[in-house]
Amino acid sequence: MRKGCPLDLEDIRRQIQDIAGIRVTCSFISDTYRVLDMLTSQEDVTVLEVKDYVTTPKSNGYKSLHLIVAIPVFMSDRVEPVTVEIQIRTVAMDFWASLEHKIFYKYRGVVPANLVAELKEAADVANRLDIQMERLHNQVVALEPAVRTGDDLLSIAGLTPFALPTSLLEAIDRGRTSDVTD
């Protein structure tokens, strides 16, 4: 009603795009874009809209990637495309957004100016934390040995390979060896 949408199923389906939603939280800003790329490259996902509030934050400091996508839902007699909103953001972004939402809900949208200013400052602090943590992560990754045999690396769907603990590899190998001798 707020959007002036007639209460007709087809009008609602056409005008209301975020009835279903998914939020994905990531460790690093670069991961948000990696997830975006993974989702938008899926053949069965139709991207209807992308809003990049990470590159261009809202005036209050809000940062997140928002997608509106159509995904196939299989019914007994047909496949129905359903629109879904997907929000992709870092843990720090999510923490800030959750608190900001609670404050705006409590004040029914009329938040005192001093709280608005503090929320913006907190958004900036969360962003600096995201940048610093990613920089630290990249430094740690750069310290890893340049030459790897590949036997101790695990790669999942195009993500950066990561090393498995030696004790886990040894346990798997012991399991393989005992299977052969049994």
What amino acid positions are annotated as catalytic residues? 85
DSSP character at residue 116:
H
Cβ contact 3:105 at 8 Å: no
Torsion, Cα 113 114 119 125, to 10 degrees, reads 140
Q: Are 163 and 174 in contact (CB under 8 A)?
A: no
CA dihedral 52, 56, 60, 65 (to 10 degrees): 20
